[in-house]
Structure 1
Amino acid sequence: MTWVLSDDVTAFPGDAEDWLLRDPVRNTVPLTVLRGLRSGVFGDGILCGWFVEDDEIAGAMLHTPPYPLLLGAVPVGALGSLARELIALDRAIPGISAPLEVADAFTRVWWRPETFRRSERLYRLTTLAPHGTPGFSRTATAADRDHLVSWFRAFQTEAHVDRDADPTPLVSARTNREELVYWYDGGSPVSMAAFSQPIAGMSRIGPVYTPPELRGRGYGSAVTHAATAAAQAAGASEVLLFTDLSNPTSNSIYQKLGYVPVGDYASVSFA
């Protein structure tokens, strides 16, 4: 049993991607980040890896600084050796994002203490339910970039995620792929949501952001509905989203739209 690590995303083998694609729902984040890596969104300093057991790939990881280490449904028994490999490389790991049991297991073997945890739940859509919020949706364009970047930064700060990351390259790439949706009311944008172009029929909604002064009016529900419909129109048969378990309002909103729980995840920050 061994991990193979590389700083060249072109070395990421097809078998490792196939392993991720066996469960595109639980591996949703690594799959979408892998696509971003191949399109050059995340810049320098990347690290990718795959776990080999009995001559077969049985796990994969991605790290794109300054974002956390990403692990999908990796065997828990593989995490001790991964931690040792990363320590040997003197790799700075600011945190981990993974299914809960994987995040907990890695946190136990990592040498730096946990300083913050965001508990999350992954949901998948059953049947999209209607909403009654006034307004209309619009796909964002390149002309909206500065405004979108400001809302992405606000989301990162409020949600305690990726706070050291500049969202500009990501916003530009997602705008080019027509993945960002506004909800309008009264002639102005009042909420924003993103969706990922489908991979193996899977698309994920997020982030979803409404400025604090505009909350409580149904805009988050409306823009999530619009982004979900856009994902389905793009060919998604599975539409997913993550919620912050500390926010009961968002969890309730998404369930009313037709989303049901799949499993729990965690984003953990290290000292």
Structure 2
Amino acid sequence: MKINNFDAPKLFYQQAKEYLLRYEAEHNLLLGISQALIHSPDRYGNQPYLATVEEEDKIVAIAMITPPYNFLLSKVENFAAIEMIAQDLYQNKISLPGVSGLTTETEIFAQQWHNLTHQAYEIEMHLRIHQLKQVEPIPKVSGFLRLATENDRALLFNWYEEFIQEAAPSEPTSIEKTVNYHLGQNHIYLWKNEVPVSMSLATKATQNSSRIGLVYTPPEYRKKGYASACVASLSQQLLDQGNQTCYLYTDLANSTSNHIYKNIGYKPVCDWNIYQFDAI
């Protein structure tokens, strides 16, 4: 078993693509970030950590870090690869705020990292990956979906800040940089009923699939069906544009959002955990 490190995202993706696509749903986030690293290199300011682990010339695990975000771990076919990755990160003196990935893989890695660094860790979020191939009919609500524009910038700054505070308070993100990037890439959509009342975001995972995220409705507009309408309409638009599948993550602690997405047609695929490490 050996580990391979890559400086060039394009070369990394060429080597990792087949394995990532073999488990496309589980790897939709890693696939999307790989595309961003190749086509929008300024999206992440620092040099990424990109690695594959091979056994008998076949990839059995993939690791990715885009600082300052969490370490991302792929589906692992031989759990011995996890210790090898942890050792490589430790020997290269790479600090980690946390790890995100499939349930068993992240649990094993968190323990391995604790053994090496003595950093305490705790589960931050239990998520579930869902996929959709056909939108189910839902009750109609007033309004329509539209692409966010530069005129929405101030609103998006406020909503994104509120979303982070509510859903991911430990997320080490620059609100201005993130909003500017997604606006420039035409990723952000709004549901408008006289005024904007809900938002969501769509990014490419593969040539034939996209991922929906950043679903947010301000408290004063909730329980009116706007988020459902926004996600359903955006999902249908993505399918109409040629995507075969849409992916999204839900927080298992939020029963409302899980119910909403189920009604739209999203079906669970697997669970995904986020662990946070205490600072040394």
TM-score (norm 1): 0.93
- The corresponding residue for 1:134 is 142
8 Å CA contact retained: 2:129, 2:249: yes
- The corresponding residue for 1:96 is 99
- The corresponding residue for 1:217 is 224
Tell me how far apart the structure 2 counterparts of residues 34 and 169 of structure 1 sit (CA, whole Å). 19
- The corresponding residue for 1:42 is 44
Tell me how far apart the structure 1 counterparts of residues 205 and 72 of structure 2 sit (CA, whole Å). 19
1:19-77 Cα shifts (integer Å, max 9, x gaps): 21222211000000111112121111321111121123232221011110112212333
Tell me how far apart the structure 2 counterparts of residues 92 and 13 of structure 1 sit (CA, whole Å). 24
Tell me how far apart the structure 1 counterparts of residues 80 and 163 of structure 2 sit (CA, whole Å). 34
- The corresponding residue for 1:243 is 250
Superposed displacement of residue 154, structure 1: 1.8
- The corresponding residue for 2:186 is 178
Q: How does 1:21-40 map to 2 (within 5 A)?
A: 21-38=21-38, 39-40=40-41
- Among 211, 217, 237, which residue is 1:230 paired with? 237
Gaps of at least 5 residues in structure 2 are: none
- Among 56, 60, 63, which residue is 2:62 paired with? 60
1:211-263 Cα shifts (integer Å, max 9, x gaps): 12221111111111122122212211011111000000000000011111111
- The corresponding residue for 1:106 is 109
Superposed displacement of residue 11, structure 1: 4.1
AA at the equivalent of 1:268 = Y
AA at the equivalent of 1:14 = Q
- The corresponding residue for 2:165 is 157
TM-score (norm 2): 0.90
- The corresponding residue for 1:193 is 200
Equivalenced residue count is: 270
Tell me how far apart the structure 2 counterparts of residues 180 and 71 of structure 1 sit (CA, whole Å). 27
Q: 1:147 to 1:247 in 2, by over 3 A?
A: same
Superposed displacement of residue 10, structure 1: 4.1
AA at the equivalent of 2:112 = V
DSSP-derived class of the 1:97 partner: strand
Tell me how far apart the structure 2 counterparts of residues 150 and 244 of structure 1 sit (CA, whole Å). 22
Tell me how far apart the structure 1 counterparts of residues 11 and 242 of structure 2 sit (CA, whole Å). 29
Superposed displacement of residue 8, structure 1: 3.7
Of the structure 1 ranges 95-104 and 226-235, higher mean CA displacement relative to structure 2 is found in: 226-235
Superposed displacement of residue 150, structure 1: 2.6
Superposed displacement of residue 200, structure 1: 3.6
Q: 1:198 to 1:264 in 2, by over 3 A?
A: closer
Superposed displacement of residue 178, structure 1: 2.1
Superposed displacement of residue 198, structure 1: 5.2
AA at the equivalent of 2:210 = S
Q: 1:174 to 1:230 in 2, by over 3 A?
A: farther
8 Å CA contact retained: 2:13, 2:34: no
- The corresponding residue for 1:84 is 87
- Among 151, 155, 169, which residue is 2:177 paired with? 169
Tell me how far apart the structure 1 counterparts of residues 108 and 7 of structure 2 sit (CA, whole Å). 24
Gaps of at least 5 residues in structure 1 are: none
DSSP-derived class of the 1:216 partner: coil
Of the structure 1 ranges 222-231 and 244-253, higher mean CA displacement relative to structure 2 is found in: 222-231
Tell me how far apart the structure 1 counterparts of residues 58 and 99 of structure 2 sit (CA, whole Å). 25
AA at the equivalent of 1:229 = Q
**CA RMSD in angstroms, aligned pairs only:** 1.8
Tell me how far apart the structure 1 counterparts of residues 188 and 237 of structure 2 sit (CA, whole Å). 10
Of the structure 1 ranges 212-221 and 166-175, higher mean CA displacement relative to structure 2 is found in: 166-175
Tell me how far apart the structure 2 counterparts of residues 174 and 231 of structure 1 sit (CA, whole Å). 16
